[in-house]
Amino acid sequence: MDTILQRLAKLPRLGVGVSTEYGVCDVEGVLDPAELRRQYPRFGGFLEVGIETVKGIDPPARAWAAKGWPTTYHFLDVNLDDPRDLDAAWMAAVRELIGVLKPAWLCGDVGLWHFGRRDRGQMLLLPPILVPEAIGPMAAGVRALREATGLEVFPENPPGAVFVGDMHILDFFAELAVQADTGVLLDCAHLAMYERATGRSVLEALDRFPLDRVVEMHIAGGALRDHQGLTWIEDDHGPRVLDATWRIVDRVLSGATNLKAVVVECERNPLEAVLPVFAEVKAHLGPEWA
């Protein structure tokens, strides 16, 4: 049986791509992923499709998949630490959607996507409780979803303005990767949010993180907000990437030997507004990603 690093090495290299969710392209003036791929193929290498099974896949994403262009499946509706969420109906819907997209792998933020029973359009998304006891159930969920679909499942560090628990989020995800026998999706913008919210160094924690398990990386803009003296970073996916995010990107790139995909999350912006972000991403990635 292959080790996790051997499994990761066999995955396809997707390059630089963008993300989408159901209905995003219905708004006039936002980024059209297919047009991005046609005009700038080095920026539109693949499409990460955010999916709630009750909504499914919208026509633009279906058209992308019908052309045989690469995709990944980003779940938006499952609490991996709750076995009841991986019920027969949900799993059947996931398999059907996989049949349409034919994704290279599954991925998604690990945390609470909903409170109580799964409900259409709830989209709660809270970070996990960062304690050792929370890791085992989530690892079991990752393994169960991988076994049920036959695809690798990569947990992503979620956004947040408040984090509960004593563990550093990167130590939490390092142990989750070990217990789940998996790689990870590191969202550099989310890590910048965590650093701002907690005052805990991300770069120091990355020195002990297994960067060779990073398969996918997210880069996105963020906006610094203030309300009555409380400051936080809003994960707005805008065209302004914070300096802290770029620092994290460079540190991750220095050790991510199994990195296969980089998503620029900018789906609600016009193409001309985000082209400078893509250019800067390419500059940080270097010539081997050209």
Residue 232 Cα distances to 187, 199, 224, angstroms: 17, 12, 6
82 has pLDDT over 80: yes
Q: Which of 37-51, 158-172, 205-219, 220-234 has the lowest mean pLDDT?
A: 220-234
Residue 225 Cα distances to 197, 236, 265, angstroms: 12, 11, 19
Q: Parse the chain into domains and list their residue ranges.
A: 13-284
Nearest to 146 by CA among 84, 58, 201, 73: 73
pLDDT computed for residue 290 by the predictor: 64
Residue 222 Cα distances to 42, 126, 141, angstroms: 24, 18, 30
pLDDT category at 236 given cuts 50, 70, 90 is confident
Q: What is the tens place of the pLDDT at every residue in 165-179? A: 999 999 999 999 999
| Mean local confidence (pLDDT), 182-205 | 96
Nearest to 215 by CA among 70, 19, 65, 72: 72
121 has pLDDT over 70: no
Average pLDDT along the chain = 94
pLDDT computed for residue 262 by the predictor: 98
Q: What is the tens place of the pLDDT at every residue in 97-109? A: 999 999 999 999 9
Instruction: Report if pTM > 0.85.
Output: yes
246 has pLDDT over 70: yes
The CATH code of the domain at 13-284 is 3.20.20.150
pLDDT computed for residue 223 by the predictor: 83
